[in-house]
Structure formats: structure tokens, C-alpha cells
């Protein structure tokens, strides 16, 4: 290992990513979709496409019009109703939780800390003879999956582990470092966990295995779909160095812009700055994280996902300049919120305590505001009776019909085109909204 970079190699972290998540959920609901190019849409965008569609040039976040031009036979499925995806996400998490400390990231990604399970297998003499999956090194050539998502790293071609010696039966190979022995076991656990997700929940996943969340996440998509990749700690500093700064998990558009303004484009560029100067520019938390991350280190712990701390419904629309329009938009959003509250109540037997309204306004740039009140008792006590009944009745119908009906109901509710603008907000109404 490069003496300039000392990595904490004591942990075994796996990052799982469900391949084309929304598309897989839809294929499971209607298996006929497996063999035809299909994409899931929200508003005017493709949120994900299945692999037959990807082969024909359909990509994530593409406009529907462009996708249809590239692939005229493309089957489009409305992904506005998120409940089936939430359900799938829960099911996948519950399988993975059996293997270690599991933290959900969005709907289709999970971090798993399997350090304890690895140690326990080592103590029982359950060593793994070799790594399972691909081995990523800084020498492997990368290709870009989509131009606007540099963090989605893909290896240009398959790469297998080529270390000559193999572990003898019942014990680690000589000269092996402890982290190497541990990561071999971790790669076995990753493979077992992926097989369990496939058998029990029916989803294909890809996984990355390394000693931190950042490294595991960076390599998990290298050999998508349905495969896994290991990154060994000694290779981490050289691997991260040439990557665009945006590939570091947690670096979004805003931070990327700030970094670009200070002349940083690659991860390696960040190494020129001392920890103190990064902290003074970006604050203690982000500054120290960047200082570690650019050296391939990430001490962030995997935190067990519990019930969500809050439930959010949100949407964007072209304009909302009157009180009437604001009320109309809330009337569109609230039914979804009430359904979610009922689902949450059924699962965790709890009720929310406060209600927060957030909105964005375009002034010079975007300004954000929010206001909170205690949760109205009525809404908390009897969530969405008539909406839920409407959905339950729809549930009796054939699955595909129920699906179409639910999507249509949501689109009908989300018809902001019919939003009455009324007269501009009065000073009193504006005060009311800002209170
Ligand atoms: Mg995914």
C-alpha cells in the first residue's frame, strides 16, 4: 500500500444496487414486458428502461419524445404511482437485513456492513477459497454509461482476479493480508445475499465490495447487470485519483460547481488542498469528508435503516401565483400523502406529529421557504378513507387494469393544466402563506 495513504481496512462493506429498478418491478408485475423494449416514465422523462430498450438507445432521464424517436416500438409504463416500487424496496431491504447492518439509500440501493459476519466466519474457520465476481483495479479501463451521470462508472471489459495462490482447505493462504482474507469472505456473502434477493424477492442486483461505503458504491455498477465487483484497499487511492470530483458520493451539482470555481475537476485536484483549507471553504463535515475521500478513505458508518423520519409528497408545476392555485395544488398532493400516512400507520402503528409545507420560488435564483404546524388531528386519525376505499375496490380488478386505473387516477389528480390561476395573491394571502 502507498505509504502516503493509510486506509482503514478493518471493515467489510457491500453496496447493492437493483438493476433498472423501476423496469424490473414492472417486469415482475407483467412478465410479458421482459422481452419487449420498455421504459418507465414520470412526467416527460424516462426514469429507467429495461435492457432490451437500452440496447436500442433508450437511456435514463431521456425525454419521452427522444426515446420514442430512437425506439418507435417502446412500451411506456407510467411510474407516477410509487407504491409498487416502495413495496419492492421494502421487500429487498428485508432480505438484505439478514446479512448485516443494512442502510437504505433511495429506493433501490442498500449498504450492508458485514464486518461482524465476516469475523464470525473467520472464527469458525469458514474461509473463502477465492474472490467471487470481478476485481477492479486502477488499471481497468472505464467507459461512461451516460454523459450526464459521471458517477455511474462501468468497466470497459470484464476483469477477473488473477492472484496466483489459492487458499488451502480450511485456512487462509500464506502471505495474505487480513483484509484480503476478510474481503474474500465478504464477496461470498455478497453473492449469497444477491442470490437470496433473486430467489425470495425476484430482483437482479449488482454489488460492490470494499472497506468503505464510498469505495463499495463506486465499484458496484462496474459490471452491471447482475454481477459484483471487488476493490482492494491498496488500489483505492490510485483508482479514485483520475475520477471527476462529481463521482464522490455526496458531491452534487452545487458542490461540484463550487469545486470547479476553485479549479478542482478531478478527485486528484482535491489533494492539493490541506484539510484546514477544505474545512474553511466547505465547513467541518463536508471539508473533512472531501479530505478523506480524495485519498480513497471514507469513515462514514453504515447506519441501520429504521422507519422513515418523515413522509414527503412533492411535485413541480409551471406556475402558482394565486392563493386559489396554491389550494388547488395542495388538493392534488394531499390524497397521496394521506395514503402514505395510512400505509405507515399500518406498518408502524404511529401517527405524525407535525405537518410541514415547503415551496420554492424563482426570484433571482431559487428561494426555498417552509412553514410547520402540528398535524391536524382529523388527518392523522383517519387517513384517506375514501381514497383508500377507491384503491381497494380497484384492487379487486385484474392487476393490469388496477394499475392503469391507479395511474389514471394519479394523472387526473396531477393535471396542473387545469389549475385555476385566479387573481394574483393579495398581500393578506401572501402573509398567510408565509406565516
Ligand atoms: Mg439501480
- Give the model confidence (pLDDT) of 358-379 as tens digits: 888 777 777 888 889 888 776 6
User: Has residue 66 been placed in a domain?
Assistant: no
User: Do both 245 and 345 map to the same domain?
Assistant: no
Query: What is the value of pTM for the model shown?
Result: 0.80
User: Would you place residue 8 in the very low, low, confident or very high pLDDT band (cuts 50, 70, 90)?
Assistant: confident
The length of the chain in residues reads 435
User: Do both 349 and 427 map to the same domain?
Assistant: yes
User: Which 8-state DSSP code applies to residue 235?
Assistant: G
CA–CA separation, 24 and 86 (whole Å): 13
Residues spanned by the domain of 230: 13-19+80-293
User: Ligand 1 centroid to 204 CA: how many Å?
Assistant: 10
User: Ligand 1 centroid to 383 CA: how many Å?
Assistant: 32
Which of 222, 228, 18, 45 lies closest to 105 in space, CA to CA? 18
User: 97 CB contacts (<8 Å, ≥6 apart)?
Assistant: none
User: Ligand 1 centroid to 113 CA: how many Å?
Assistant: 19
User: Would you place residue 143 in the very low, low, confident or very high pLDDT band (cuts 50, 70, 90)?
Assistant: confident
User: Ligand 1 centroid to 27 CA: how many Å?
Assistant: 15
**Percent of the chain residues topping a pLDDT of 70:** 80
The residues that are catalytic are 109
Mean pLDDT of all residues belonging to the chain: 84
User: Do both 419 and 357 map to the same domain?
Assistant: yes
Angle among Cα 387, 391, 394 to the nearest 5 degrees reads 145
User: Has residue 110 been placed in a domain?
Assistant: yes
Mean pLDDT is lowest, of 159-173, 192-206, 330-344, for 159-173
- Dihedral angle over CA of 311, 316, 317, 323, nearest 10: 50
pLDDT tens readout for residues 176-186: 889 999 999 99
User: Would you place residue 150 in the very low, low, confident or very high pLDDT band (cuts 50, 70, 90)?
Assistant: confident
The number of folded domains in the chain is: 2
User: Ligand 1 centroid to 75 CA: how many Å?
Assistant: 20
User: Ligand 1 centroid to 310 CA: how many Å?
Assistant: 23
pLDDT (average), residues 148-173:
62
User: Do both 133 and 174 map to the same domain?
Assistant: yes
Do the beta carbons of residue 172 and residue 158 sit within 8 Å? Answer: no
Mean pLDDT is lowest, of 19-23, 57-61, 107-111, 420-424, for 420-424
User: Do both 137 and 283 map to the same domain?
Assistant: yes
User: Has residue 30 been placed in a domain?
Assistant: no
Do the beta carbons of residue 41 and residue 64 sit within 8 Å? Answer: yes
User: Has residue 84 been placed in a domain?
Assistant: yes
pLDDT of 68 > 60? The answer is yes
CA–CA separation, 65 and 100 (whole Å): 43
User: Has residue 5 been placed in a domain?
Assistant: no
The confidence score (pLDDT) of residue 164 equals 42
User: Has residue 257 been placed in a domain?
Assistant: yes
User: Ligand 1 centroid to 88 CA: how many Å?
Assistant: 13
User: Would you place residue 432 in the very low, low, confident or very high pLDDT band (cuts 50, 70, 90)?
Assistant: low
User: Ligand 1 centroid to 388 CA: how many Å?
Assistant: 30
Amino acid at each position: 500500500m502507498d505509504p502516503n495513504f493509510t486506509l482503514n481496512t478493518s471493515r467489510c462493506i457491500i453496496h447493492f444496487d437493483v438493476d433498472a429498478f423501476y423496469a424490473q418491478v414492472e417486469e415482475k408485475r407483467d412478465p410479458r414486458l421482459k422481452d419487449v423494449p420498455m421504459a418507465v416514465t414520470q412526467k416527460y422523462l424516462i426514469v429507467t428502461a429495461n435492457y432490451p430498450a437500452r440496447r436500442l438507445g433508450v437511456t435514463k432521464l431521456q425525454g419521452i419524445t427522444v426515446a420514442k424517436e430512437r425506439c418507435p416500438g417502446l412500451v411506456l409504463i407510467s411510474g407516477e404511482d410509487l407504491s409498487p416500487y416502495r413495496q419492492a424496496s421494502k421487500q429487498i431491504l428485508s432480505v438484505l437485513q439478514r446479512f448485516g447492518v443494512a442502510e437504505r439509500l433511495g429506493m433501490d440501493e442498500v449498504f450492508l456492513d458485514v464486518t461482524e459476519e465476516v469475523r464470525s466466519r473467520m472464527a469458525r474457520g469458514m474461509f473463502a477459497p477465492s474472490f467471487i465476481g470481478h476485481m477492479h483495479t486502477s488499471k481497468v479501463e472505464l467507459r461512461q454509461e451516460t454523459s450526464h451521470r459521471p458517477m455511474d462508472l462501468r468497466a470497459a471489459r470484464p476483469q477477473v482476479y488473477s492472484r496466483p495462490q489459492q487458499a488451502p482447505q480450511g485456512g487462509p493462504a500464506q502471505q495474505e493480508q487480513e483484509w484480503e482474507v476478510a474481503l474474500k469472505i465478504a464477496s461470498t456473502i455478497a453473492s449469497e445475499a444477491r442470490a437470496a434477493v433473486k430467489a425470495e424477492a425476484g430482483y437482479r442486483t449488482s454489488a460492490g465490495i470494499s472497506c468503505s461505503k464510498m469505495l463499495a458504491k463506486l465499484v458496484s455498477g462496474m459490471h452491471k447487470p447482475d454481477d459484483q465487483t471487488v476493490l482492494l484497499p491498496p488500489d483505492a487511492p490510485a483508482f479514485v485519483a483520475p475520477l471527476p470530483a462529481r463521482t464522490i458520493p455526496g458531491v452534487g451539482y452545487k458542490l461540484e460547481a463550487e469545486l470547479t470555481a476553485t479549479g478542482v475537476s478531478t478527485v486528484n485536484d482535491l489533494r492539493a488542498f490541506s484539510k484546514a483549507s477544505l474545512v474553511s471553504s466547505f465547513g467541518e463535515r463536508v471539508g473533512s469528508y472531501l479530505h478523506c475521500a480524495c485519498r480513497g478513505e471514507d469513515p462514514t458508518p453504515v447506519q441501520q435503516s429504521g422507519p422513515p423520519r418523515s413522509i414527503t409528497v412533492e411535485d413541480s408545476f409551471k406556475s402558482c401565483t394565486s392563493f386559489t392555485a396554491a389550494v388547488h395544488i395542495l388538493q392534488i398532493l394531499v390524497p397521496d400523502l394521506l395514503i402514505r400516512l395510512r400505509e405507515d400507520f399500518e406498518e408502524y402503528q404511529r401517527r405524525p406529529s407535525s405537518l410541514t409545507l415547503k415551496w420554492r420560488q424563482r426570484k433571482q435564483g431559487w428561494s426555498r421557504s417552509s412553514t410547520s404546524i402540528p398535524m391536524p388531528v382529523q388527518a392523522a386519525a383517519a387517513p384517506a378513507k375514501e381514497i383508500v376505499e377507491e384503491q381497494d375496490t380497484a384492487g379487486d380488478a385484474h392487476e393490469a387494469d388496477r394499475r392503469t386505473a391507479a395511474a389514471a387516477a394519479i394523472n387526473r389528480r396531477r393535471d396542473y393544466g387545469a389549475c385555476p390561476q385566479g387573481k394574483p395573491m393579495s398581500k393578506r394571502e401572501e402573509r398567510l402563506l408565509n406565516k
